[in-house]
Amino acid sequence: MTERASKQQIALAFGMVYLFWGSTFLAVHYAVESIPALLMAGSRQLLAGLVLYPIARIHSKERVTLHHWLSGLLIGGLLVVGGNGSIAWAEANRTATDVTALLVGTVPMWMAILDWLRPGGPRPTGRTVMGLAFGLGGIVLLVAPGIPMFHASVSPIRPLYAVTLVCGSICWATGSILSRHLKLPKSPLLGTAMFTMSGGAMILLLGIAGGEAKHFDVHAVSFHSMLATVYLAIFGSIVGFSAYTYLLQRVSAARVATYAYVNPVIAVFLGWFFIGEALSTRMIFAAAIIVVGVALVITAPHAPEEISGQPVAAE
């Protein structure tokens, strides 16, 4: 009975990570309709961290040190500011949710490259190299203009935003790798609360420094934006990260990492179903190539276990 319950709980946790993190791209689309991108991303993450932190402290009974907070600040800057912040900013500038999700879905590839480049890092296998080639080829197909066979791209993306999302994915990959080597609390949930709270505060400060607060009218916030932001805080951050942490403690990192190529597929479907983002031939081919590339990297021998540490993406 216990084993069966455990399997059901694991299946439920996978379902939550797949669905909630896959749906965050659509939620961000609605959230930034009437809320400035950085203010929205910061408030969402800060709220999640403030809710998680006392719960994690009580549950773990662990003493938090200054070193823990400094590590949390660095990881929060890379994961939350670089990763989540780039997504919010790109979608606020009308980057389609499907294209955003596919570019962010390349995170495991950057993790493999960065982990290989660090001193003593594992040498990539032939399957990993093949996966990297597929993934990068998919990105080129997705964003390069004027490809004769796929001339009409229904979900165009300006190079600036493509570069921003790729840089954000690299930041997320860097933070994920560093989280294995920096001093963080033993409780994964407590560490998540600390870097989520730290990152959220930093994004808010960036938004204020960038002048978003001056042009923000709280009375102009739409019901859709408010609901989407609450959804992101509760299901994207609190529930999603909690389910992800639960899985990390019970199944292999390789299985958990499957979210990286399931989420973009869900995001593409939800974008098509709810906001009419058309599925062009170019999009379908690029999605298939990127998914195959990420799958090859994730399933390569030893790579996932060696590059996975703290929670690694989402939105």
Tell me, yes or no, whether 313 lies in a domain: no
Mean pLDDT of the chain: 82
Contacts of 266 (CB under 8 A, 6+ apart): 18, 19, 22, 23
Q: How many independent structural domains does the chain possess?
A: 1
Tell me what pLDDT residue 145 has: 57
pTM, 2 dp: 0.77
Tokens standing for 284? 């379908």
Tell me, yes or no, whether 221 lies in a domain: yes
Tell me, yes or no, whether 115 lies in a domain: yes
Tell me, yes or no, whether 290 lies in a domain: yes
From 301, 175, 234, 180, select the one nearest 23 (Cα to Cα): 234
Which of 20-29, 41-50, 272-281 has the lowest average pLDDT? 272-281
Q: What value does the mean pLDDT take over residues 83-107?
A: 84
Domain ranges, residue 146: 2-307
Tell me, yes or no, whether 280 lies in a domain: yes
pLDDT tens digits along 34-67: 999 999 999 999 999 999 999 999 998 899 999 9
DSSP at 95: -
Tell me what pLDDT residue 138 has: 80
Tell me, yes or no, whether 314 lies in a domain: no
Tell me, yes or no, whether 137 lies in a domain: yes
Angle between helices 159-178 and 126-143 (to 10 degrees): 150
Q: How many CB atoms lie within 10 A of CB 84?
A: 31
Angstrom distance (rounded) from CA 177 to CA 309: 6
Q: How confident is the model at residue 305 (pLDDT cuts 50, 70, 90)?
A: very low
**More confident position, 108 or 168:** 168
Contact 143, 162 (CB under 8 A): yes
From 42, 43, 159, select the one nearest 103 (Cα to Cα): 159
Tell me what pLDDT residue 154 has: 46
Q: How confident is the model at residue 176 (pLDDT cuts 50, 70, 90)?
A: confident
Tell me, yes or no, whether 125 lies in a domain: yes
> Amino acid letter at 238?
I
